[in-house]
Amino acid sequence: MEEPQPQMNFGTICKLQTLWDYLSVASAQEKSMKGTNTWRIFTYKELHAATNGFSEDYKLGEGGYGSVYWGKTTDGLQIAVKKLKAMNLKAEMEFAVEVEVLGRVKHKNLLRLRGYCAGTDQRLIVYDFMPNLSLQSHLHGRFSGDVQLDWKRRMNIAIGSAEGILYLHHEVTPHIIHRDIKASNVLLDSNFKPLVADFGFAKLIPEGVSHMTTHVKGTLGYLAPEYAMWGKVSESCDVYSFGILLLELITGRKPIEKLPGRVKRTITEWAEPLISQGRFRDLVDPKIRGNFDENQLKQAINVAALCVQSEPAKRPNMKEVVSMLKGYDNTNGKALQMMRIESVKYKEELMALDQATDDEGVPEESG
């Protein structure tokens, strides 16, 4: 083990030692966490072979932490391998903590960890491969022309994602704030069941503005104003992002879209006049061709409007969100029929950082 660096405090060193001991034990072989969530250590050689040497043809996409590749193990399991960028000792420790946390989390709507590989200079995470890729690819990417997301599927995706976030916020110990809820982090299995991904690594991002500058691509539109401006993090930041995701599901629009003349418009700015005029039908993605449930639409718009309020304390929690989306109301009057939405406009400097809406921006999903 590398010598701890002098600037690390005693607590950190102890934690690292404990962690290292833990991982040594874990590396024994396949390990069962809490009975059913099994994961194992993969060798670099194994993952290299599974992904055809991390070939460009196997690349599913690229995010803030590195590239993701499709792969197939010798026993026929399809996997997605996230190859992390170079890491230092502190990040290495965080990687180990996150892998441990991910190994303990188990919920039908959270992407499970299959395992990891921690070689001398490589960090790789292995997940189950999701055949329908991400929600992003269906709404705005390579599958958008296929129109496989009808209204029912969209509402199931909304409810399932909300249940996954609810589990992170209220049921797992310690509680987890995702911090990067967005369409590319909602993956879809062969039945279009949503699985929220990246809930562990989201915490590797340093708090506040550094997140913005290093990884704002495609993310800015989901950020709660208090997080975007002051880096203030709480569960309600995820609630805000979920509200944007819900609007995206309803409307098929991107969180920030580029208009002629380099003008950028947020989805709330677009939706605000339509909602205040009661033109709910005009909000719905035209690709659905009018096949939606009117009551469910109103309820979903109402939930989205509650979630994207600029004051965090006014937003519902995820338990309330799930109840409302399922059609019950146990929110003690909080679920007033809003039927108006607050529009958010990010400051110019932040908007300038949002490369995803630029034509020349790197595609979110390659291959």
Ligand X SMILES: Nc1ncnc2c1ncn2[C@@H]1O[C@H](COP(=O)(O)OP(=O)(O)OP(=O)(O)O)[C@@H](O)[C@H]1O
Give the residue numbers marked as catalytic. Answer: 180
Pick from Mg ion, ligand X, none: which does 65 bind, CB < 5 to 8 A by kind?
ligand X
* Piece of the chain touching ligand X by CB under 6 A; list 85-93, 126-134, 276-284, 335-343: 126-134
Is 61 an interacting residue with respect to ligand X (CB under 6 A)?
Answer: yes
Q: Which member of 39, 95, 116, 129 binds ligand X (CB under 6 A)?
A: 129
Find the residue with minimal CB distance to ligand X.
63
Pick from Mg ion, ligand X, none: which does 364 bind, CB < 5 to 8 A by kind?
ligand X
Q: Which residues bind Mg ion (CB under 5 A)?
A: 63, 185, 198
Residue 82: partners with Cβ closer than 8 Å, 6 or more residues away: 65, 66, 67, 68, 124, 125, 126, 127
Q: Which member of 198, 235, 238, 320 binds ligand X (CB under 6 A)?
A: 198
DSSP structure string for 179-246: S--SGGGEEE-TT--EEE--TTGGGGSPSTHHHHHHH-TTTGGGS-HHHHHH----HHHHHHHHHHHH
Nearer to Mg ion, 249 or 324 (CB): 249
**Residue 200: what are its φ and ψ, rounded to 5°?**
-90, -45
- Integer Cα distance of 240 and 217 in angstroms: 18
83 labelled as ligand-binding? yes
In the bound complex, what is the minimum distance in angstroms from residue 59's beta carbon to ligand X? 8
Distance between first and last Cα of the chain: 38
Is 180 an interacting residue with respect to ligand X (CB under 6 A)?
Answer: yes
Is 185 an interacting residue with respect to ligand X (CB under 6 A)?
Answer: yes
Q: Which member of 26, 87, 125, 133 binds ligand X (CB under 6 A)?
A: 133
Return the closest-CA partner of residue 249 out of 285, 286, 298. 285
Q: Is-contact 299 337, C-beta < 8 A?
A: no
Residue 63: partners with Cβ closer than 8 Å, 6 or more residues away: 184, 198, 215
Is 248 an interacting residue with respect to ligand X (CB under 6 A)?
Answer: no
Residues that bind ligand X (CB under 6 A): 60-65, 68, 80, 82, 111, 127-130, 133-134, 180, 184-185, 187, 197-198, 364-365
Binding positions? 83
